[in-house]
Amino acid sequence: MTPSVESVCAEKDVMRNILASLQHRIGPQKYNAWFKHGADVMLQEDRIQVTVPNPFTANWIEQHYTSDLSASAEEHVSKKLPVVVAIDPNLTGRCRKRDLDLQAQIVSRAAQGQDRPRETAPTVNRLKHSLEDFIVGPSNRLAYSAALTAAEGTNRQFTQLFVHGACGVGKTHLLQGICAALTRQNHRNQPIRWRYVTGEQFTNEFVTSVRSKRSKEFRDRYRNLDLLAIDDVHFLAAKRATQEEFLHTFNAIESAGKRILLASDAHPRLVGDLNEQLVSRFLAGMVVKIDTPDRQTRLSILRGKSDAMRLKLPPDVEDYLTKHIRGSVREMEGTLVKLSALAALEGGTITLDQARDALADHLARADSAVTLGDIESVVATFFGVTPADLHSSRRTRTVSTARMIAMYLARRHTRMSFPEIGRFMGKNHSSAVLAVQRLEILLSRGEDVVWTSPAGAKSMPAEELVELLNEQIG
C-alpha cells in the first residue's frame, strides 16, 4: 500500500524535529560537519538509519553521536530505537570542502584532548557485541581463538593480544565480546575489573586529568585493572605525553600479570610516530591480523544480518550479494538496508533483477569505495594523521605526502578512475593525476619519501614505503 501524502508529511516533520534535537544536543558546528550535507538520516519502523559516504565518517558517527541521535529520536517517537550506520559512496559528491575541513578540525581537537570525553568506558549494557554472535571463518579463526583464550584467562602465559586489520572486519567485536564474557564471569567468581575504551577516550581522559590536577585518580582507574581493552590504539600516534602515560599503565598491568587487549588498523610496526618502547611491548605479546572475510564467511554474516532485520533473501540474491560485496561488514549492512527499503515498497521478497536494478551503481562502486577506505586508514595511521585530514584542504608536508600515497595506492588497488578518486578525497581530477605522477617519479628514480613528524623529519625509500603499505592493505 502506498503511504498517504499526510503520513509522508508527518514522518518528515518528525524527522525534522529529531534532527533539530540532535543539533541542540551536539551543537551546530558538529551537526553541520557530520550530518547537514554529507549524511542521510531516516526514521524507520525499527531503527534510525544513518547513511554516510565513507568508512571513516561511519566510524566517527558510531563512536560519538549514536547515543545522542537515539535520545533525540526517543523524545519524538516515545520509544528507544537503535541507530544503524551504513555507507553509500554516492553521497561523496554532496560533501562540501568547508565541512570536510571542519571534520578535520573536530578530529584534531579531540586528538589534542580539547573536547572533553562525552562518556566514560561502557558498561556491559552499552557493549554492542558478544563472542557468541561473532561469525568465524578462515580470515579470523586465529584471532577468535586468541579472544576465547583471553576471555577465559586460564593461560598465564597469554596476557597480551594485539588485533589488527582493515575497517569493519571485527576487531571491535572481539574486544567487546571479551569484556562481555568477563562480566558473566563476575557472577560466578569474584568481580573482574575491566575497562574498554578507545584510544581517543584514553587520550582525552588523560589530558583532562592533567588539566584538572587529578592524575592520581586517572592512574588508579587504569593501573589496577584485571583487563584493559583499548580500541583504535593507533590514535595514540604522535601524542608523546599520552604514550608515556600509557607505557607506564601498560607496565603496571603487565607486571601484575593482568591482561591487555589492543586493536588497531595497522600492525604495531606500521603505526606512525609510536614510541619504540611501546612497539616492543606490543610485539612481545600475540599479534594477529584479521583479513577480509572469504565468500562463505560473508554468506554467514549476510544471513545473520538479514535475519536480524527480518529480511528474507532468496538464494540467488544471497549469492549475488556475497559475490559483489567484499568489503567491511558495515558495507554489507548498508546494502541490506537498501534492500529492506525496496522490499517494503514492493510489498514482498526481493528478486535478483530488483536487486541488480536497485543496487547496480552501489555494488559497482562499493568494492572500490571500501578498499579506498581501507587504504586511507592504513596510510593515515602510518603517517600519524587522520582520514579526515586526507579529505580536508590541509597542505602540510605530512598531510600532502599521505594524500599523495593514498591516491597512488587507490589507482593500484581499485578500479576507481582519477575523477572518482579525486572526488572521494575531496579533490579534483588533476590533483589525483599529479599525485600519482609525483610518486611514480620518486619510485622510478629510487628516491626517498620525506615527511615531518613531531619527532622531526623522517624519510624512507619510496619503493620500501609502498611495499610496506601494500603488505598492510593485504
For domain 124-290, say whether CATH 3.30.450.190 is its number.
Answer: no
Residue 52 CB: number of other CB atoms within 10 A? 28
Give the tens place of pLDDT for each residue, 14-54.
Answer: 888 999 999 988 988 899 889 988 788 988 877 888 988 87
What does the pLDDT look like over 386-443, one tens digit per residue? 888 888 878 888 999 999 999 999 888 887 788 878 877 778 888 899 999 999 999 9
Cα–Cα distance, 140 to 115 (Å, whole number): 35
* Separation of alpha carbons 66 and 43, rounded Å: 14
pLDDT tens digits, 330-353:
777 777 877 777 776 666 678 887
Residue type, 143: A
* Topology (CATH) of 5-95: GMP Synthetase; Chain A, domain 3 (3.30.300)
Enter the C-alpha cell of residue 376: 586511507
Residue type, 454: P
Is-contact 87 52, C-beta < 8 A?
yes
Counting Cα atoms < 13 Å in the Cβ hemisphere of 265 gives 33
What is the rounded distance in angstroms from the CA atom of residue 393 to the CA atom of residue 381? 19
At CA 266, angle to CA 179 and CA 326, rounded to 5? 85
How far is residue 48's CA from residue 82's CA, in Å, rounded to a whole number? 6
pLDDT of residue 382: 87
Q: What is the pLDDT of residue 331?
A: 72
- Cα–Cα distance measured from residue 431 to residue 407, given in angstroms and rounded to the nearest whole number: 9
Q: Give dist(CA 22, CA 32) in Å, integer.
A: 11
Q: Domain ranges in the chain?
A: 5-95, 124-290, 316-474
* pLDDT at res. 113: 58
Residue type, 24: H
**Tell me, what's the pLDDT at 115?**
59
Which phi and psi angles does 13 have, rounded to 5°?
Answer: -65, -45
Q: Which fold has domain 316-474?
A: Chromosomal Replication Initiator Protein Dnaa; Chain: A; (1.10.1750)
For the chain, which ranges sit under pLDDT 70?
Answer: 1-11, 93, 111-126, 186-190, 327-328, 344-348, 357-371, 454-455, 474
Taking the C-alpha atoms of residue 188 and residue 222, their distance in angstroms, rounded to an integer, is 24
Comparing CA positions, the residue from 184, 180, 183, 149 lying closest to residue 163 is 149
